[in-house]
Structure 1
Amino acid sequence: MIEGLLTGLRIGGIAIFAWLAWRILFESFDFTKAPKHVRDSAWRYHRVSILVMCFVMCCLASPANIMLANGLISLDVNFAMMSGVTIGACIYAILKHHGLDIATGKRPVHWFACLLIMTLSALYGTGRAL
């Protein structure tokens, strides 16, 4: 069941990252034209998202791969750490979506849509595994 949940979260992650790429390519051109106070507000979310990704890479993804390759952790511990990577990456994408909403003047609802996508994907993955 846990594997199904992780599969669902990864499917949701694919969806929100593909959507994020679309938004970066086609909606972020006005980012620098926003007033300074808007850019400052959006930057908070971008900065936190970068810190989340740094934590994920430095404390979960890379150490898990290195420790597994050297036989220092079991496959179960590696699975748990990689589950944290998936969740951290999704948090990163949600924060990026919210920062883009603020910077581009869109209604800040994309973060909620991301959570909905992740929830539906997790339910799908869990239900599929049962």
Structure 2
Amino acid sequence: MALAREVVLPAATRIFEEGDKADRFWIIRSGTVALDIQVPGRGRAVVETIGAGALLGWSWLCPPRQWHLGAETRGPVSAWEFDAAAVHDLCTGRPALGLALVTVIAETIGDRLRATRTRLLDLYGPQGPQGSGPVP
């Protein structure tokens, strides 16, 4: 936590854009953040909304260190912001810390992939009779 700085982000703030350089991450203290993907011809599609206690941002960990999703606040958000390079340097000298961090990030990646898959199936999956919705 010595590397964290407290930030407050107003409602409707774009925190990062899909494809941009990923050089930091946040732990959400209060408020909610919508994670979205750019859908050609449709604009942004929200794939998950995260809140207090959630890790926001893992793309900094792996090359090419670009955001895989976009993020926007749904209301005011309070968070701890971390500089990714400083955290990486700390973990290099403390392998147990690095392993714990990578484990948390791997769990987050798995959760985000499942949420994205579910949302994309809702948007583009096969439709039931008369287009009534996704097939159960």
Band the TM-score falls in, shorter-chain normalisation: 0.3 to 0.5
TM-score w.r.t. length of structure 2 = 0.35
Judging by fraction of residues, say which structure has more strand.
2
Question: Which of the pair has the greater relative contact order for Cα pairs under 8 Å at 6+ separation?
Answer: 1
